[in-house]
Amino acid sequence: MMKVCLFLSLAFACFTVNAQTSPGKAKGEVCATEPSAAMATKPFNNETTFKCPSLGSVTVSKIYEKGWRVVQYLPLASNTGTFQMVILIEQQH
């Protein structure tokens, strides 16, 4: 779990630094699903809900409706047996 938290922190920091140092360019965030016991219990589909810092709980469709886009999808498994789906989203200015 520590590796997952470290990865998410680094990814968010990279997006935040880029957004702050490049005015007028894209803004990015890291969004994640709730951890679950196994990937098979919650397949990735249009109903999958992600928690995003700026958008709250949203599906991929809602992310696009709000002017953001998904730029990367990352399935993450921890050494404690939990699984999470993480997406990197970007908003164009």
> Higher model confidence: residue 55 or residue 2?
55
Q: What is the pLDDT of residue 28?
A: 96
> What's the total number of domains in the chain?
1
Encode pLDDT of 15-43 as tens digits.
Answer: 544 544 455 677 999 999 999 886 656 67
The Cα–Cα gap between 84 and 42 comes to 10
The Cα–Cα gap between 89 and 93 comes to 13
Q: Which residue segment(s) compose the domain that 69 sits in?
A: 2-91
Listed residue (36, 24, 27, 25) closest to 85, CA to CA = 36
Q: What is the pLDDT of residue 19?
A: 47
Listed residue (40, 35, 38, 15) closest to 86, CA to CA = 35
The Cα–Cα gap between 34 and 49 comes to 8
pTM reported for the whole predicted model: 0.68
